[in-house]
Amino acid sequence: MVQKGEFTSKKDKAMNNYRKHLRAALISALGYGLGFVIGVALIRLVLNIGFLKSISDNIEHQRLYFGLVILFVVVILGGALAGALGGLSLAYAVGSENRRRTIARSALGIGTGFGIVLLPILLLIAMQAMYNTGGSSPLGFSISIGLVGALFGLVSGLMTGTLPAKTSYWRVAGIAALAFGLGGLAFGFGLWQYFYRLYQSGAAPFELLFSFLLFGGVGGFFLGWLFSQDQEILAQEGSQLRANALYRATQWFKHTKFYRKRGFWGTLIFVFVIFLLTRLLAMSPLSASSGHISDFLPSQSIGVHWSGPWAVSESTVPVADPSIAQSGDLLAVAWAQDGAIYLATSASDDTGIQIWQHPQKMLDSAGMEARNPKVAVDAKGGIHLLWTETAAGQEGASVILYRYCLQGDCSTTTVLSDLVSDPCASETNLNPAIAVNSTEVLAVWGSSSSNLPYATWKIGDSPAMAATGCALAAEVPAAANPRLAARPEGGFALAFDDGAEIFVAVAQTAGQAFEVGYQEAGKLPEVLVDARGTIQAAWCGTDGQVRYREEGTLTKIIPAPPCLSRPVLGQDTDGILHLLWHADQAKQPSGQVLQSNLIYESRLIASVWSDPLIVGLSAAQAQPALANGSDGRLHLVWADAFEQTNKINYASYRVYRCDAETLNTQGKLALEVATSGVYRPADDIVPYCQNQFDRLLILPKADPAYSDVPPTLNGAFD
């Protein structure tokens, strides 16, 4: 029979044990929580220094491999530090006799878990979460991270479970899996908040550290409670617990002749040498390896081939309406900025790189607002600049102004619209277009009349001597948004719209009236005369889809994100047409459509327009402009905006060439086989030359410490 005093004594003892276990659990939770925070902070600090990146960058051919090795080593060492701090607190909390073993095993277990579980799996889950965004609930993400935490606990527990020499490490591994699984749920919710804040503001370091504090704290709490209980059991006399199998195996190996003769470091060096020999044998030409033989070399590598964007101009005020033209090695770009027109010129050096001059502000009238600049360059290097100017804050009255620049010197401003007489004279003059051929300049613009006014003069003559009149042979009410292209045999092609339909017309000479050839439903047309002298046109359809038509053929539809501005056309030296436009949609592989302002490109290859490819980010209201270079390159400009910076971006397209002289012997053999016509069509593009690994970018919201690419809305999809 149990006496009352004995019952009270057992109750007090149980309460004391509870308090002791709770104290150990709280100390362990604090140690592991702070250890995780310090370890992660150290990992980030080491990676931010950039010294390790410079080491991997110096290893030319194995940059990616050594970069990944360095990343794993840093993460494992950071995890080992976190485990060591947690093990120190655990040893203090449970009163371990061998603290060095506790710290070492904890460092080994947590470091291993960081390296082989947290780093790769969290990277995959983070990419899945950011690149295939679903609903706004964090539940699914938290459960996923909880499962990762359970796996982390299992791996770490198997290593840490040898802390008490006489307990079951499977029991420790199971408790650790449960503990870090529960911690993973809290960790997942914290990571969700971190990614959300990162998406909104681009910086959220405290949310990330707090997530790791929760993760380590919850796991450390359960480990502290478990080891406190085990320590109490081991302290009892007559304990029947047997040493776990891993501990017994370790003790057996330590008593072997091999270990007694060579010691710990000798054993470690022996294992490393054996591993190195196996790798050398695997790379030996005498060793057999599995292979795959195919009679076909698949090559579907299609890139936009555009260079990275280069900022011609940066400003804190909005920029818009860029225009570009080229003749010889001279490029001219004009745009509207803060109510004025700016002009920048560029010439390419021996390597083909464009050297941009400082932008020049064109003379603007006080109280007037300038917009819609258009630029053309003649064969002598003369720059012809046209734009619209209106009284600031007023609607209606507007004029078309013109200036001519040669080698940095510009003429006085001429008001072209004042030269036009009835019936095309108008107080409203908008959206000019300009083109030059070998001898003549032609300018056309929209007005409030039922026609398009024009002015034309010889290159070198004063525009004040221009012949003017109505451009269209027949009136078209609401004619607007003209575009011009010079024809090689003389004359010009004209495209315009009336808000509901687009019209394509031709004039044999600069002073002759334009005759409409055809009209289609749509708006914002573009016209191009290709190398054969054939007129090509593109426009936005009434459904927003981009449409294209070659002279004498039927209209084609490019199934793509809807165009929000005028599409532009260009032709490279291979005769391939390029069509570019601005859209505000990005479609993920999952089918989800995200909002993002982008410049898209499609190419006409074998009479079929390719799937749209992203050229670059753009401002919310961007109008791309394209120029065909005499050197075979295409030159593109567009407006971009990021945070408080507004840019006029420039990019160029060079036709891909695979020059065998730049290859080594093996490369030449591979190129010869690929272009032989046996394994693939002989006229296919061979994407083998000039291809090498450059760098690994982690998107979206790339940390400036790791990447010079600014964070973007949709990351890799931008």
Give the strand order in the sheet containing 515-521: 480-486, 492-497, 501-507, 515-521
Tens of pLDDT along 563-602? 999 999 999 988 899 999 999 988 766 667 788 889 999 9
Q: How far apart are CA 376 and CA 325, in angstroms?
A: 5
The amino acid at 418:
D
- Reported as type and span, the H/E element at residue 333 is strand 330-337
Q: What is the pLDDT of residue 351?
A: 59
**Largest pairwise CA distance in the chain:** 126
Q: What is the mean pLDDT of the chain?
A: 79
- On the question of pLDDT at 376 being above 60, the answer is yes
At 242 the three-state DSSP class reads coil
Per-residue pLDDT, averaged over 376-380, amounts to 94
Per-residue pLDDT, averaged over 334-363, amounts to 84
Give the range among 79-93, 160-174, 178-192, 476-490 with minimum mean pLDDT.
160-174
User: What is the length of the chain?
Assistant: 718
The amino acid at 253:
F
Q: How far apart are CA 235 and CA 253, in angstroms?
A: 27
Tokens matching residue 629: 């270079």
CA 569 to chain centre: 25
> Any residues with CB less than 8 A from the CB of 547 and at least 6 apart, and which?
520, 522, 538, 539, 540, 541, 555, 556, 557, 558
Check if the beta carbon of residue 529 is closer than 8 Å to that of residue 485: yes
Q: Which residues pair with 355 in a beta bridge?
A: 347
At 379 the three-state DSSP class reads coil
Q: How far apart are CA 315 and CA 620, in angstroms?
A: 16
- Strand 645-653 and strand 310-315: the pairing is antiparallel
The amino acid at 406:
L
Check if the beta carbon of residue 411 is closer than 8 Å to that of residue 404: yes
Check if the beta carbon of residue 486 is closer than 8 Å to that of residue 507: no
Interior/surface letters 133-165, b for 16+ CB within 10 angstroms, e for the rest: eeeeebeebbebbbebbbbbbbbbbbbbbbbbb
Q: What is the pLDDT of residue 574?
A: 85
- On the question of pLDDT at 33 being above 90, the answer is no
Count H helices and E strands in the chain, helices first: 11, 31
Q: What is the pTM of this model?
A: 0.59
Q: Which residues pair with 557 in a beta bridge?
A: 547
- Reported as type and span, the H/E element at residue 386 is strand 383-391
The amino acid at 582:
H
The model's confidence at residue 293, banded by pLDDT at 50, 70 and 90, is: very low
Indicate the burial class of 670 (C-beta count within 10 angstroms; 0-12, 13-18, 19 or more): middle
CA angle, 51 then 55 then 56, to 5°: 120
| Cis previous bond, 700, omega within 30 | yes
- On the question of pLDDT at 281 being above 70, the answer is no
- Strand 398-406 and strand 354-356: the pairing is unpaired
Per-residue pLDDT, averaged over 150-168, amounts to 65
Q: What is the pLDDT of residue 84?
A: 84
The model's confidence at residue 280, banded by pLDDT at 50, 70 and 90, is: low
The count of other CB atoms within 10 Å of the CB of residue 245 is 11
Check if the beta carbon of residue 555 is closer than 8 Å to that of residue 548: yes
At 643 the three-state DSSP class reads coil
